Every structure is written in structure tokens, then in C-alpha cells.
Structure 1
Amino acid sequence: MSTLQIIDLRASVETKEGRKQILNGVNLTIESGQTHAIMGPNGSGKSTLAYTLAGHPKYQVDGGQVLIDGENLLEMTADERAKAGLFLAMQYPVEVPGVSMTNFLRTAVTAVQGEAPSIRTWTKELSEAMKRLRMDPKFAQRSVNDGFSGGEKKRAEVLQLELLKPKFAILDETDSGLDVDALRIVSEGVNRAKENTGLGIMMVTHYTRILKYIKPDVVHVFAHGQVVETGGPDLADRLEEEGYDKYLPEGASESALA
């Protein structure tokens, strides 16, 4: 059993107008095997939370703690956070021309696990994982995400998740840009990782459609850079019906914050 604790986390980012506070005291605890959905209006800081946890240098931590099993994540570099068991599936996965998927994935697994898997074992594991995600075997020799469609990039993210076997996964709007079939396949991969390893999940999403496939245990409403309401799956249903207007500043519209 592992625990991810976010305690009074505050973070800011440099803008043209100067440094702007985005996270205003986030408190959240996720246990192994739990799925927490983070929902909220555009501009509320959901993606900032994801990238701050992963160690993106753009975001400056101004206070608070983030602990994995008591270890302070904020004192670690991004690669050390991955070794500690944290994984980020990006909303917009980057392309890495010249680096094949198979070399990238084997190097990542070696770095996280501390030793290289045998070629024979690795080839079989990669092939089986790609088959489960309905990925063409030829993609293993293609450059990372280079020329991939949006759905193919998201499947490649879940492929990493299945092979790296982290303790906690942050899914930053994994549902964006996916058609119904791709959403189902990607969701099956996430659910499989959770079932096989006891993965804890923090799922950042704007809409409820992915929650029909990846069932949340807890739903948090995120607004003004912090969690403002927490409930069960029924909270997501209410948000679908009512929207986020009640959480916006008076006189603001969600489209204006996009």
C-alpha cells in the first residue's frame, strides 16, 4: 500500500505581466488502488497541478509538501520522481524524432527499475502490451510519437504506463482528442494497469465521458487553484448537468477563461 499526499501545495508561473500564483493551497491524498478525478473549469489550475507534481521547470513551488510514502517529491528532480513511482500521461505528448519507441521504452524501464530487462523478455512484454492496446507492431520501430495521430499518441502514453508500472499515475486530460473506440481502448489499458499493480490514479479531466470507462472513487472540483468540493461519483453527474458556473468568479464565463 502506497500513499501520495499533497499538503498545502502552492505554485506560480512567470507570465508577461510577472509571476502569477496558480496553485493556492492544494490538499489531496491518494492511496494505492484509488482513482481520483480532478474536474473544474478552464483556467482553474488542473494542468498546472499535474505538471508541478511531475517537476516541470516552468512552475515554481512556493510552499507546501508532496510526499510519496513519506518521501518529499519536491526535493527530487523529474527523473527521481519517476523512479519514486510517479508517472505523468501528458495532454499533448511530445514527438521525439530519431529515437525509436522500443529504445525509448527500454531505456525508461531500465532507468526506473535500476536494471535492463533481458532482450528476450523485453521483446515479448512489449509485443504483448502493444497487442492489448491494438497498436501496429511496426510502431515499435518508429520514432517516439513522430507522425502519430492524437489517438496513437495517447495509446503510446498508456503503453508507457503499462510497462513502467508506477505507483501513481497522473492522467492530464487523456480523453482529449480521442474518438469513442480510442477512448475505450485507452481506458481499458489504464484499468488493466490499476488491476494488475494497484495503481493509484489522479485523473484530470474537463468532461465526464472518460468517467464512464474509468470509474472514480472520489471526485474533486478544482477552482481558483485549489480543491473546493469533494464527493463521490455522483458529483461528476451533477457537474455534467449544472456545469461549473457556480465555481467561477462573479460575472465570469468559462469560455472567457479558456
Structure 2
Amino acid sequence: MAEQLLQINGLKVSAEDKEILHGIDLTVNRGETHVLMGPNGAGKSTLGYALMGNPNYMATQGSIRFDGKDITEEAADKRAKEGIFLSFQNPLEVPGISLGSFIRSALEQRRGEKLRLWDFRREMKKAMDVLQMEESYGDRDLNVGFSGGEKKKAEILQLLMLRPTLAILDETDSGLDVDAVRTVSRGVEEYQKNEKGSLLIITHSTKILEALKVDYTHVMVDGRIVATGDGSLVEEINAKGFEAYCREAIHG
């Protein structure tokens, strides 16, 4: 029997007093890969931020349960410690804090213990090799001066190092060339293979999905999930787009 990891019931979310999500129901079991697709402005990223506990996105109704615990009111740092990870669509630049220091600090908080520098560097090098990143990136300020591809690789490096139970990837393949997408996909594949973690992949395109087994695909339109299917739904959307789903949402 499948073991539930994430259960979202009737979730409504507002930002700046405007309701964006209108009653989301979604269940993710351990080890499953779910894909969330939809047109621009559908509310996909809002769901990711709400699950991570971003204070700018307020849950006004419904509940979020993670690993059997109600986390609807929990702060983002507590959710991260419990095993939720969000790869941002537009990662922030953080001057004065190196990528390596940032990851080491996050790891120590997650594990609740200090890490020896040598052990940490060895672990990080192993993850960097998967992503074809030079070790020098670890000493650079977090995302400062990074290209789009380098920022996305840094996000996936954090994924491989932190080993969350649930990884939410928001447009991780957006704006990347073919080689960068292949490298990032390799990192996601490595996470899924080694950690047997659950994935919620928010995307417009399907480049990053080619190497992954997709269990469920959800279509979001206007803050509602209007269709759910298996991996074949991705191919249908590739061929036909979202127009039919948008029409159906308008006409009910």
C-alpha cells in the first residue's frame, strides 16, 4: 500500500488580499513524481511557495499535511528541516555568503549536528561531479554573477546535498540550453534514484521530464487543478497545448 507523504485538502491561498488558489486537493505518496503544468499565471508557482511556507502567500482555507503532520501554519525553516525543498524559478543572489557555506549551514540545521569541513567538502565534490561543476563554485558568493544555467545547477547541488523527502522544482529547466538541461536532469535523476524522494515538478516545458518516470500529471488553470492523468498526459499537452483545458475552466 502506498504511503502518503503530502496531503493537500481544499487549499485556498491569497497574496496581497487576492485569492490565487481556489481549493486545491492533491496527494503525493513517497517516491512518486508528480508534474504540475498549466498556462502562465495559473498559480503553479504560488502552490510551490505555499507548500514551502513563504509568508507572502497565506493559506486562508484548507490544510497541508506532510509526513502525517499538519504544517499549514508552520514557518518555512521548520518545513525545510522536516524535509521539504523548493528549487526557485529565479534564485536570489546572496552577496557575502559562499555557496559552500550556505549549503553547509543548511545541512547542519537539517541534521542537527556540526559537520567536519573535510567531510563536507568531500561530499560536496561528489555531488558537483554529477553536475559537472568545478569545485571553485563552492567558494563563490551564492548566485552572484552566476549565469542562468549556473544558478540552476547550484539549486540542484543543494538538492543532492540536502536530500529532502519532498523536492519541489519550479521551472528548473526554464531558459537552459540543451546541455544544461541534460546536466540538471542528471542531478534530478540521481536524487530520485538514490534518495527515493518524492518530486513535484512545476514546468511549462517537458525537457527535464525525459529522463524521469512520471507517475501523475496535473493541469492547473486559474488556480484550480482541472485535470489529472499519468505520464501520457504530458505528451498530450505537448501536442495540443492548454487551450481545451482553459475553455473547459471558463465554461465549467
Please report the TM-score for the alignment, with normalisation by the length of structure 2: 0.95
| Letter of the 2:15 counterpart | V
How many residues are treated as equivalent by the alignment? 248
Q: Pick the aligned partner of 2:147 from 139, 149, 153.
A: 149
What residue is the counterpart of 1:77 in the other structure? 75
Check whether the contact 1:33–1:199 (CA below 8 A) recurs between aligned residues.
Answer: yes
SS at match of 1:5: strand
Q: Secondary structure at the match of 2:188?
A: helix
Partner secondary structure for residue 108 of structure 1: helix
Report the counterpart of residue 27 of structure 2 in structure 1. 29
Report Cα offsets for 1:106-159 as digits up to 9, x if no partner. Answer: 001001111122222111001111111111111111000110000000000010
List per-residue Cα deviations over 1:50-88 (Å, max 9, x = no partner): 011111111111111111111112221100000111000
Query: Partner of 1:169: helix, strand, or coil?
Result: strand
- Picking from 112, 119, 126, the partner of 1:114 is 112
| 2:211 corresponding residue in structure 1 | 213
Distance 1:234 1:101 in 2: 38
2:11 matched to which residue of 1? 9
Contact residue 12 and residue 60 of structure 2 kept, 8 A:
yes
Give 1:156's aligned amino acid: A
Using the alignment, how far apart are the partners of 2:130 and 2:19 within structure 1? 42
Q: What is the rounded CA distance, in whole Å, between the counterparts of 2:29 and 2:205 in structure 1?
A: 23
Match of 1:255 in 2: none
Where does structure 1 differ by over 3 angstroms across 4 or more consecutive aligned residues? Answer: none
- Supply the RMSD in Å over aligned alpha carbons: 1.5
Q: Residue 247 of structure 1: CA displacement? A: 2.2
| Contact kept? 1:2, 1:167, Cα under 8 Å | no
SS of 2:72's equivalent in the other structure is helix
Q: What stretches of structure 1 of length at least 5 have no aligned partner?
A: 253-258
Where do 5+ consecutive residues of structure 2 fail to align? Answer: none
The share of aligned pairs that are identical, in percent, is: 46
1:2, distance to aligned residue in structure 2 (A): 5.7
Pairing 1:158–2:156 present? yes
Cα shift at 1:249: 5.2
* Structure-1 residue corresponding to 2:96: 98
